[in-house]
Amino acid sequence: MSDMTEGEAGSFYNYLSQGCKLCQRGAKMVLFVTGICDRSCFYCPLSDERREDAIYANERHVHSDEDVIAEAYQMSALGTGITGGEPLLEKERVLHYIRLLKAEFGMEHHIHLYTSTAASMDTLSQLAKAGLDEIRFHPPYTTWGQLEDTPFARALRDAKTQGMDVGIEIPAIDEARYIGKFVNDMDCFLNLNELEFSDTNANAMHARGFELIDDLSNAVEGSRTCASNITSALRKVHFCSSSYKDAVQLRKRLIKTANNTARVFDEITDDGTLIYGVARSDNIDCLISVLRTLDVPADMYGIEGKTVEMGWWILEDIADEIRDSTHEMSIIERYPFRNGIVVETIPL
Ligand code: SF4
């Protein structure tokens, strides 16, 4: 593979768009603006739950502009990737969020958009004026062999005239080999995503003969090879592996969030989860008074209803002494969000 840089978790590239650079640092918020899409790509990974007109900032189902801004602050986002569904079915919503994020975080907050449409010049001009920095087109795979003859060629050229960084983003399947000349001629970047199984695409993928690499991964056998077979001829290409998206990007984003949300007594793990101790009691006043008697510093615990949360090492130390004042004690590991998913519970 000539001039390729090997990234983490099996990714490789000779070009990274600014959107990808920030994503690799875990600094991009994913803003899912609608689950509605009028295409039906056989490989579409969208879950049933997301196939509705709902808005998510990362994993958070958002209901207001304030929710979106709060999520961006929580992860110290330096940029946002707008995706869906098909975002431009809700063009006004997309324009609104671009303006909102640029107003709150400044023009340097980098925004990229994924679209499966060959957007009109008018739309591209509105997006650029709102502040969109980068656009990634996802043409239907049946057109990859003759893209020059489709409206996507015009849309790519128009997007460039608007000053945006322009690319194509598609899964790494065999048909991707037809797209190389077009990408080079257009001088745009090509993002190849490792093809993945999901609950919703599994039947269609099996029907086309795709298989999992192994039982531990959602990645499709041969997708990486498809990418490496075509990339040496490309000037601007990036292969993003399934495990990179799952493991590295998510972990970096969780660590940033954890650094913003951890209390003084939470331990932040290398995976970006939080570990702390939990003691539940029907007589919380009695439990607090025992903690005071044991000289547990006031900043090393917090009270949530009938629960006291504290440093896990403190709870381990005092477990026997407070057992009679509690009805349940455990050490908990969870995602660093409010009501984040609990990964593990160890009873004491
Ligand atoms: S264009 Fe994107 S969201 Fe729409 S069906 Fe295809 S993969 Fe799914």
CA atoms of 20 and 23, how far apart (whole Å): 5
Query: So what's the pLDDT on residue 218?
Result: 86
Give the mean model confidence (pLDDT) for residues 104-123. 98
Residue pLDDT, tens place only, 151-192 = 999 999 999 999 999 999 999 999 999 999 999 999 999 999
> How distant is the alpha carbon of residue 159 from its chain centre?
25
DSSP β-bridge partners for residue 304 = 307
Give the mean model confidence (pLDDT) for residues 271-291. 92
How far is ligand 1, taken at its centre, from the CA of residue 38, in Å?
8
Amino acid at 46: L
CA atoms of 205 and 210, how far apart (whole Å): 5
Q: Nearest C-alpha to atom 8 of ligand 1 is from which residue?
A: 44
338 pLDDT band, cuts 50/70/90, is: confident
Task: Tell me the average pLDDT of the chain.
Answer: 93
Domain ranges of the chain: 5-258, 263-347
339 pLDDT band, cuts 50/70/90, is: confident
Mutate to test the pocket of ligand 1, among 36, 44, 50, 199 (most ligand atoms within 8 A of CB): 44
CA angle 285, 290, 291 (to 5 degrees): 95
Residue pLDDT, tens place only, 133-153 = 999 999 999 999 999 999 999
How far is ligand 1, taken at its centre, from the CA of residue 52, in Å?
13
Q: Residues lining ligand 1, CB < 6 A?
A: 37, 39-41, 44, 46, 84-86, 116, 138
Give the whole-number percent of the chain exceeding pLDDT 70.
99
CA atoms of 128 and 278, how far apart (whole Å): 50
- CA distance readout (Å), 118 to 135, 172, 185, 226, 312: 11, 21, 18, 25, 54
Residue pLDDT, tens place only, 50-87 = 999 999 999 899 999 999 999 999 999 999 999 999 99
Return the ligand 1 atom nearest residue 37 CA: 4
> How distant is the alpha carbon of residue 329 from its chain centre?
34
CA atoms of 125 and 144, how far apart (whole Å): 25
How far is ligand 1, taken at its centre, from the CA of residue 276, in Å?
40
Class level of CATH domain 263-347: alpha beta
How far is ligand 1, taken at its centre, from the CA of residue 45, in Å?
8
Query: So what's the pLDDT on residue 347?
Result: 92
Return the ligand 1 atom nearest residue 46 CA: 8
Give the mean model confidence (pLDDT) for residues 308-331. 92
Mutate to test the pocket of ligand 1, among 116, 144, 191 (most ligand atoms within 8 A of CB): 116
Q: Nearest C-alpha to atom 6 of ligand 1 is from which residue?
A: 41
Give the mean model confidence (pLDDT) for residues 104-111. 98
Query: So what's the pLDDT on residue 249?
Result: 77
Report the phi/psi class of residue 63: left, alpha or beta, with left for phi > 0 and alpha for psi in -120 to 50.
Answer: alpha
Residue 216 in this model has a pLDDT that exceeds 90: no
Residue pLDDT, tens place only, 4-27 = 898 877 889 999 999 999 998 889
Fold of 5-258: TIM Barrel (3.20.20)
CA atoms of 137 and 156, how far apart (whole Å): 8
**Contact between residue 219 and residue 246 where contact means Cβ atoms under 8 Å apart:** no
Q: What is the pTM of this model?
A: 0.85
3-state class (DSSP) for residue 343: strand
How far is ligand 1, taken at its centre, from the CA of residue 74, in Å?
28
Mutate to test the pocket of ligand 1, among 36, 46, 168 (most ligand atoms within 8 A of CB): 46
Phi, psi of 168 (to 5 degrees): -120, 135
Return the ligand 1 atom nearest residue 38 CA: 4
**Contact between residue 105 and residue 13 where contact means Cβ atoms under 8 Å apart:** no
How far is ligand 1, taken at its centre, from the CA of residue 43, in Å?
8
Query: So what's the pLDDT on residue 2?
Result: 53
Residue 1 in this model has a pLDDT that exceeds 60: no
Mutate to test the pocket of ligand 1, among 52, 137, 138, 175 (most ligand atoms within 8 A of CB): 138
